[in-house]
Amino acid sequence: MGLFHRFAHRHGHHHRGHHDHHHERGEGSRAERMAEHAAHHLDLSDAQRGHLSELLELMQSSRESLRGDDPVAELSALIANTRLDREAARAAAEKRVQSVQAGLPGLIEALGNFYDSLDADQQQALRFLLRRKAGWRARFGRRSQ
């Protein structure tokens, strides 16, 4: 199926209420919802879905490492006194950066595995989806998570 056929077919009916289940927030992880959305738009095979799921799980793990366990409690501890504990803030930031750096090789490998598993039409469709999403974010900002 060609790129334009794929998008004309899917986007022609996508926003007419037939896919309200995509917006249910209680079911599945964010990574699972993203994988299903991409699989729907890119016609992914089971193997490609596996590569994408691995990539999204590693991306989510990296995001969580950067965020920390309890950012509110951590910030509260840093500002508990009359002056910010700069040394503790630096140590916490460095710990997060090291955690993200440690995960980068696996994340890059997972990205390569997923992208390389796509055919030329799927790669072009992915680039289109990402450009569209970047344009939406530039106009309307990130939605709350």
Per-residue pLDDT tens over the stretch 84-124: 999 999 998 899 899 989 999 999 999 999 999 999 999 99
pLDDT reported for residue 136: 67
pLDDT reported for residue 64: 85
pLDDT reported for residue 83: 93
Whole-angstrom distance, CA of residue 32 vs CA of residue 40:
12
Concatenate the DSSP letters of all residues of 97-143 into one string.
HHHHHHHHHHHHHHHHHHHHHS-HHHHHHHHHHHHHHHHHHHHH-PP
pLDDT reported for residue 11: 47
Whole-angstrom distance, CA of residue 51 vs CA of residue 114:
5
pLDDT reported for residue 138: 67
Asked whether residue 129 is domain-assigned, the answer is: no
Asked whether residue 79 is domain-assigned, the answer is: yes
Q: List the domain range (segments joined by +) for residue 84.
A: 3-11+28-117
Asked whether residue 143 is domain-assigned, the answer is: no
Asked whether residue 124 is domain-assigned, the answer is: no
Asked whether residue 45 is domain-assigned, the answer is: yes
Asked whether residue 18 is domain-assigned, the answer is: no
Asked whether residue 78 is domain-assigned, the answer is: yes
The residues of the chain scoring below 50 in pLDDT are 1, 3-26, 144-145
pLDDT reported for residue 68: 78
Tokens 């002056």 correspond to: 83
pLDDT reported for residue 74: 87
Asked whether residue 136 is domain-assigned, the answer is: no
pLDDT reported for residue 39: 85
- How many domains, in total, are found in the chain? 1
Phi, psi (deg, nearest 5) at residue 14: -60, -40
Look up the pTM and report it: 0.65
